[in-house]
């Protein structure tokens, strides 16, 4: 699989990660607010971000992942991460994302998800993209609803996070549903 390109939306540039993003990842992903919605390590120690960038590059080279640094078009500020973990034999992928707390509730995640859904369905020709979120993560559920993903059900006590069992709320979208929703006119996934 070729390296993921950069994806431009109205306010965001989603671009490949670079080693120099490590400090920003550690700072933004290291907060408890971000950690509770994800499996990001907490505390987020020195060296972990460098290792994660290298791991994601290796997975990208193997064709089983794509990862984008979410940055602001205006000033290139790094604000978060979004990516797909791909199972090529099934043509499906799991979508994961987080934003630093200062950038919440401005519609950035919704904008980034639309772009990555477009990339996954159009460029990667995936058949299905799904995204689970932990119970109680209403903001994540709302984002998935806003981009048109369908609620598929609850996986009860599926994971242990911070020493307690948590339910997963599962959302998914099929390629055909994406095409019907967006039409064929947009090429950047922003609508």
Ligand X SMILES: CC(C)(COP(=O)(O)OP(=O)(O)OC[C@H]1O[C@@H](n2cnc3c(N)ncnc32)[C@H](O)[C@@H]1OP(=O)(O)O)[C@@H](O)C(=O)NCCC(=O)NCCS
Task: Among 9, 133, 182, 189, indicate the residue that binds ligand X (CB under 6 A).
Answer: 133
C-alpha pair distances (Å), 141 with each of 17, 18, 148, 153 = 26, 29, 11, 12
* 100 closest CA partner among 49, 134, 64, 152: 49
Task: Among 44, 52, 68, 97, indicate the residue that binds ligand X (CB under 6 A).
Answer: 97
Q: Does 110 bind ligand X (CB under 6 A)?
A: yes
For residue 81, the cross-strand partners are 69, 98
Site string for ligand X, 25-64 (x = CB under 6 A): ---------x--xx--------------------------
Q: Does 105 bind ligand X (CB under 6 A)?
A: yes
Q: Which is nearer to ligand X, 60 or 140 (CB)?
A: 140
Q: Does 139 bind ligand X (CB under 6 A)?
A: yes
Structure tokens at 57: 């590059």
With residues binned 3-state (H G I as helix, E B as strand, rest as coil), the percentages for the chain, rounded to 5, are: 35, 30, 30
The binding site for ligand X (CB under 6 A) comprises: 34, 37-38, 97-99, 104-110, 133, 137-140, 142-143
């Amino acid at each position: 699989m070729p390296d993921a390109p950069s994806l431009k939306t109205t306010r965001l540039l989603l671009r490949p990660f670079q080693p120099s993003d490590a400090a920003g990842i550690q700072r933004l992903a290291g907060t408890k607010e971000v950690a509770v919605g994800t499996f990001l390590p907490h505390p987020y120690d020195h060296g972990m971000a460098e290792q994660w960038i290298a791991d994601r590059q290796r997975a990208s080279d193997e064709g089983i992942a794509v990862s984008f640094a979410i940055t602001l078009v205006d000033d290139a500020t790094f604000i978060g991460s979004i990516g797909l973990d791909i199972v090529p034999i099934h043509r499906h992928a799991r979508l994961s994302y987080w934003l630093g707390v200062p950038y919440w509730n401005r519609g950035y995640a919704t904008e980034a998800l639309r772009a990555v859904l477009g990339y996954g369905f159009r460029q990667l020709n995936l058949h299905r993209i799904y995204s689970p979120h932990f119970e109680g993560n209403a903001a994540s559920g709302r984002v998935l609803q806003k981009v048109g993903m369908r609620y598929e059900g609850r996986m009860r006590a599926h994971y242990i996070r911070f020493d307690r069992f948590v339910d997963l709320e599962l959302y998914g979208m099929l390629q055909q549903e994406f095409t019907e929703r967006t039409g064929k006119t947009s090429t950047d996934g922003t609508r």
